Amino acid sequence: MAEATLPHDMPAAYEPSLFGTYSKKIGMWLFLLSDSLTFGALLYAYSYGRISTPNWPTPFHSESIVNATIMTAFLLTSSLTMVLAVRAAVDKDAKAQRLWLLATMACGLGFVILHGREWSKLIAEGLTLPVFPAVPGHSASGEFVNVARTVPQFAATFFALTGLHMLHVTLGVVYLGVVALRRNFIPILLVLWLAAWLGTPAYSPFHYAAHVLLATAVVCAFILWLKPKVYDSSDVEVAGLYWHFVDLVWMFIFPLVYLMSARIY
Amino acid sequence: MEPFQQAIAERVAEQHRHHGKAQFFWVWGVLLVLTAIEVYLTYQNLQPLRMLTILMSLSLVKAALIIGFFMHMKYEVSRMKWLTMSAVAACLALMMIFFPDAFRILSVGVK
């Protein structure tokens, strides 16, 4: 047992854990259980709304389905690279750990970029919410304008579910960046914020949502400077648990929101 | 690194060295294949209820694979598996109690 490797002046370490593992991992599991209830509640509300609405639209053509499938492949691959990063951390291979973590972040960024492009396309074609600014100089296609007008819950549930998930993925990329690069990640994060803010048109919701990255940069800077520590394999494992959870949620959102709303003749 | 932190890192290493990396690639492959099956079925235009049943079953299989292998739950102690999974299943089941109300709303119709 692990107790044999511990020095005798740490009595707390001898107490057997109810779950048979270390507190940080239990803490992350508890958070993931609560977060799964958040997504469960949203998916339940979506399903309830869908069942009780007789004319629920199914407007996603092949192009949207293909895009969503590529996004799914990105996330599944990122889960693989994450697990390889944990193994590299366990094997004390710092270089491989950093590379696999960066690969995971790259796949996550790929997912967010594809998702952002899809959102922008849908908003421009008329599937929008009142809170989103209108896209100037773009004629919305009749199909999506009709959907947004006749069944507004479609747009609301779509953007709420996928938006919350996209936020989780973005925060996950930041979390992995902090674990992989520590203080060196803060300037990179600030560059990402500027790129997201200045690279999006003023009428895009992402132009404003980009400031989430600035907020995360401030929070991470506080944590990294006030509580500096060496992130070891347990930290990588716990970060991995969060990342796999994000992938897990997508395994339910993808079929329920995209595949069940497909229109392919 | 502090000795306590080092001890935890050692414990993590112990738990992970039970198995090789090959199983991660197998699980990844199976997940991609299951996704491909789901997308293929989308193009077959099945009845919605049948499609939903198949998709939910496949999603549960994918969830079990991700939780068991990628999140390492397969290698945790029994008590951890039972407590965490039963807790979340129970909470989700409580939420689902109101699903039949959606069908009632549908039959009530609009004014």
What one-character-per-residue DSSP string does A217-262 give? HHHHHHHHHHS-----HHHHHHHHHHHHHHHHHHHHHIIIIIGGGB
Q: How far apart are CA A202 and CA A195, in angstroms?
A: 13
Residue A73: its chain B contacts at CB < 8 A? Answer: 32, 35
Q: How far apart are CA A254 and CA A53, in angstroms?
A: 20
Q: What is the mean pLDDT of residues B23-43?
A: 96
Q: Give the distance from residue B68's alpha carbon to the nearest chain A alpha carbon, in angstroms.
A: 11
**With an 8 Å Cβ cutoff, are B70 and A7 in contact?**
no
Mutation to test the B interface, candidates A75, A80, A81, A253, most B Cβ within 10 Å: A80
pLDDT value of residue B5: 75
Mutation to test the B interface, candidates A64, A91, A229, A251, most B Cβ within 10 Å: A251
Cβ atoms within 10 Å, residue A202: 8
* Polymer length in residues for chain B: 111
Interface check for A230 against chain B (CB to CB < 8 A): the answer is: yes
pLDDT value of residue A21: 85
Interface check for A101 against chain B (CB to CB < 8 A): the answer is: no
pLDDT value of residue B4: 72
pLDDT value of residue A103: 97
Say which residues have a Cβ less than 8 Å from residue A262's Cβ, sequence separation at least 6.
Answer: A58, A60, A61, A64, A65, B42
Measured between CB atoms, which of A21, A41, A245 is closest to B95? Answer: A41
For the domain made up of A20-175+232-261, the CATH class stated in words is: mainly alpha
Between the two ends of chain A, the Cα-to-Cα distance in Å is 60
| Residue A64 in tokens | 């949207």
| Residue B28 in tokens | 């990844």
For a pLDDT cut of 90, what percent of chain B falls above it? 61
Q: Indicate the pLDDT class of residue B16, thresholds 50, 70 and 90.
A: confident
Beta strand residue intervals within chain A, DSSP E: none
Q: Which of A168-177, A211-220, B2-11, B102-111 has the lowest mean pLDDT?
A: B2-11
Cβ atoms within 10 Å, residue A225: 10
Domain residues of chain A, as ranges?
Answer: 20-175+232-261
**With an 8 Å Cβ cutoff, are A48 and B102 in contact?**
yes
Residue B3: its chain A contacts at CB < 8 A? Answer: 6-7, 10
Residue B1: its chain A contacts at CB < 8 A? Answer: 230, 232
| In chain A, residues 9-68 whose CB comes closer than 8 Å to chain B | 10, 13, 18-22, 24, 29, 33, 36-37, 40-41, 44, 47-49, 51-54, 62, 65
Long-range contacts of A61-70 (CB under 8 A, 24+ apart): A61/A262, A61/A263, A61/A264, A62/A264, A62/B43, A64/A118, A64/A258, A64/A262, A65/A258, A65/A259, A65/A262, A65/A264, A65/B39, A65/B42, A67/A114, A67/A118, A68/A118, A68/A254, A68/A258, A69/B35, A69/B39, A70/A114
Q: How far apart are CA B88 and CA A40, in angstroms?
A: 10
Question: pLDDT per position in chain A (265 positions), as tens?
Answer: 454 555 555 545 556 677 888 889 999 999 999 999 999 999 999 999 998 888 899 999 999 999 999 999 999 999 999 999 999 999 999 999 999 999 999 999 999 999 999 999 999 888 888 888 888 876 666 678 888 888 999 999 999 999 999 999 999 999 999 999 999 999 999 999 999 999 999 889 999 999 999 999 999 999 999 998 889 999 999 999 999 999 999 999 999 999 999 988 7
What one-character-per-residue DSSP string does A45-62 give? HHHHHHHT-TT----B-H
User: What's the maximum distance between 2 C-alpha atoms anywhere in chain A?
Assistant: 73
Q: How many domains does chain B have?
A: 1
Measuring CA to CA, which residue among A235, A117, A97 is closest to residue A175? A235
Interface check for A140 against chain B (CB to CB < 8 A): the answer is: no
Measuring CA to CA, which residue among A240, A33, A243 is closest to residue B86? A33
Q: Which of A59-63, B12-16, B38-42, B99-103 has the lowest mean pLDDT?
A: B12-16
Question: B32 pLDDT exceeds 80?
Answer: yes
Q: How far apart are CA A180 and CA A178, in angstroms?
A: 6
User: What's the maximum distance between 2 C-alpha atoms anywhere in chain B?
Assistant: 70
**With an 8 Å Cβ cutoff, are A20 and B76 in contact?**
yes
Strand partners, A45: none
For chain B, what is the mean pLDDT?
Answer: 89
Q: How far apart are CA A175 and CA A123, in angstroms?
A: 29
Is residue A26 exposed (0-12), middle (13-18) or buried (19+ Cβ within 10 Å)?
A: middle
**With an 8 Å Cβ cutoff, are A232 and B9 in contact?**
yes
Say which residues have a Cβ less than 8 Å from residue A46's Cβ, sequence separation at least 6.
Answer: A157, A161, A256, A257
Residue A49: its chain B contacts at CB < 8 A? Answer: 102
**With an 8 Å Cβ cutoff, are B8 and A234 in contact?**
yes
Contact B92, A40 (CB under 8 A): yes
